[in-house]
Structure 1
Amino acid sequence: MARMARLSGADVLAYCLGKPGAWPDEPWEGDTVAKVGDKIFAFLGGGSSVGLKCGATREEADELVETYPDAVSKMPYLGRSGWNTVRLGGVVPDDEILELIDASYATVVSKLPRRLRPE
């Protein structure tokens, strides 16, 4: 059985930037994020993980932590708001990581003022 290729940090960045209105930013030296409008929807860091909005509440985001305790953790500082760090190339299936990116993007877009939402 052939081994499936795993998502890399470059793959995740390309996927994020393929979203309508998405653009890269480096608000802290060496830390790339993906934004839509003026809001971050993915923290890309060093390429071995991605930080995503994984629930409206900490309780919702904790469901993912409980499912993948060795690959998902509460993000420092933003974790109380439902943000998690998801490690790449491991336990969490690639298609689920892409779905989490889609959900984080959709959540952030839904909170943007209409004038800043992508067409």
Structure 2
Amino acid sequence: MNIEKAKAFCRSLPGATEDIKWGADLVFSVGDKMFAVTGNCVAAGGISFKVDDDRFLELTDRQGIIPAPYLARARWVKIEDLKAVSDAEAAELLKRSYELVFSKLTKKLQREIGEGQGA
């Protein structure tokens, strides 16, 4: 996985925003709810995101993917070794993380985000 492609993909999702939290973490959010976190610089390495409950164990059993520090109880994983997933799989996983978070937003906020995209 190319981390710059992953960041660009996160930026392309409807209503996605990004900001720096905790000093050096680049956080992607929708409706002020995080769906992905990575380092702000290239050397930081890795990306964390939410996954479906039934995929958590499957993914963390794979080499290079661990339960995300501080967020594992919320079913977040961290890809430490970027070679553990392809760009296509990373895009799928990040899109699903976005969808999981988006589904928890209020219906009103979901509509506002959809309208902002011309949907």
Q: 2:49 aligns with which of 45, 52, 56?
A: 52
Unmatched 5+ stretches in structure 2: 115-119
Name the residue aligned to 1:110: 103
Task: Check conservation: 1:21, 1:36, Cα contact below 8 A.
Answer: yes
Post-superposition offset of 1:10? 2.1
Larger helix fraction of residues: 2
Task: Check conservation: 1:50, 1:88, Cα contact below 8 A.
Answer: no
Name the residue aligned to 1:32: 26
Task: Check conservation: 1:65, 1:74, Cα contact below 8 A.
Answer: yes
In the alignment, structure 1 residue 23 sits paired with structure 2 residue 20: no
Q: 1:89 aligns with which of 67, 82, 86?
A: 82
Residues 11, 88 of structure 1: alpha-carbon distance in 2 compared, 3 angstrom cutoff: farther
Match for 2:48: what amino acid? G
Q: Normalising by structure 2, what TM-score?
A: 0.83
Mapped partners of 1:92, 1:112: distance in 2: 28
